[in-house]
Amino acid sequence: MNKAKAIFVAALLIIAGSLSYGQGRGVPDSQVSPFMRFLGHFTVSGSVGYGATFSTHQVAGTSLIQNPGQAPLLFDPSLINNDTITVAYANWMNYPTAVNRVGIDSAAFLLGTDSVPVTFRSVGTSIPIDISVHYTFDRYRIGGGFSFEPYIMGKYKPDVYQGQIQPFKAAFALSTYTRWYFLFGGEIFRTRRYTLVADARVGSYKQAKKHFNPDLIKRSLFFNVGVRFEQSLSEYVRVFVRPSFEFKSYTLTFPESSNAIINKLPALYVSFGLSWRLPDRHKCPVKSCQTQINHHHSGKQYRSRVHPFWKWQNPDYGENYPKLIRYKGKNKRKLAPY
């Protein structure tokens, strides 16, 4: 009986020792700089992705003319004089351009949108490039970021009178968005290697001034909600994928008129990225030190200098190199590798 108890106690001691070894618990956190512990709560993330923006705007309260072979134009019906429109507007979704003395062709299609509103729709594509910083406390995250988004304009198509109103495109093919935002979120599920995070971003965005008239446009805030799937490569480095949905809009007021068009820009995105949590302890200063777990010198705790950033800095036994060299490469074909 005493022998059985001795074996049981020895097993417990071995298990406890291995856990202590793998997690570096032999050195208390009091030996880690408070400033470094604070920095260890910050994470920098960078990503690139693909987006699709479903632009819509409704034209109402004005008139529309479609001359054959030309882009549709909007105009005030009171400006018709002897089968000629004094002034009409093209590019009304971004930079209204006045077209003077527009003749009304005999085959022209005229529509009063005050009685029959027309909704134009287009699908544009983009490549969002994003960088952000967040602070983690418990399971919650708070921070901010910046993104730059090249955007390819789509073709606008009407939802009514599709045989009479021709689709049209903007005068440019490529434009850009820039964003500054505040982010917050929380971890829904977490293991050592995998984390599921729900987060939201709220902020302002700007369009390229040369493509969108800033004097006539009033932009809303943008709201973006998504889910971030993360896989840890080490304590400090993670790769992630983040699908998300975003809503934003802007109102364009016509020059010398009270008529305004609301452009809605809901979008779907999927981003792929890499995040790096700032280290919460210095790398070991002893160049010859080969210790592979968190350890101490002269009363201070350090992390390993042996492993690259994509390996665990404080690994469990065999975690970074689970496969022996004798079973890798050419050795795996040998009957007696060594």
Query: Position of tokens 């021709």?
Result: 166
Q: Give dist(CA 97, CA 78) in Å, integer.
A: 19
Higher-pLDDT residue of 5, 14: 5
Find the mean pLDDT for residues 254-264.
84
Q: Give dist(CA 182, CA 149) in Å, integer.
A: 17
HSE toward the beta carbon, residue 66, CA cutoff 13 A:
15
Highest mean pLDDT among 214-218, 306-310, 334-338: 214-218
pLDDT(336) > 60: yes
Predicted confidence band of residue 13 (pLDDT cuts 50, 70, 90) = very low
Find the mean pLDDT for residues 64-82.
86
* Average pLDDT over all residues of the chain: 85
pLDDT(330) > 80: no
pLDDT(23) > 70: no
CB atoms within 10 A of CB 321: 12
Element (H, E) at 225: strand 222-232
Q: What percent of the chain has pLDDT over 90?
A: 49
pLDDT(268) > 60: yes
Order of strands, sheet of 73-75, starting from the edge strand that comes earlier in the sequence: 97-103, 84-90, 73-75, 63-66, 109-112
pLDDT(26) > 60: no
80 DSSP 8-state letter = B
Q: Which of 25-39, 72-86, 118-132 has the lowest mean pLDDT?
A: 25-39
CATH architecture classification, 42-58+120-277: Beta Barrel (2.40)
Higher-pLDDT residue of 267, 86: 267
Find the mean pLDDT for residues 199-216.
94
Q: Residue 15: its pLDDT value, please?
A: 39
Find the mean pLDDT for residues 126-151.
96
pLDDT(3) > 50: yes
99 DSSP 8-state letter = E
Domain ranges of the chain: 2-30+280-333, 42-58+120-277
Answer for the pair 158, 113: CB distance below 8 angstroms, yes or no.
no
Contacts 24+ apart (CB under 8 A), 83-90: 89/254
* pTM for the full predicted model: 0.80
pLDDT digits (tens, 9 = 90+) for 172-201: 889 999 999 999 999 999 998 999 999 999
Measuring CA to CA, how many Å separate 177 from each of 7, 153, 273?
67, 12, 19
CA angle 68, 74, 77 (to 5 degrees): 105
Answer for the pair 139, 190: CB distance below 8 angstroms, yes or no.
yes
CB atoms within 10 A of CB 246: 20
Predicted confidence band of residue 16 (pLDDT cuts 50, 70, 90) = very low
Q: Residue 264: its pLDDT value, please?
A: 96
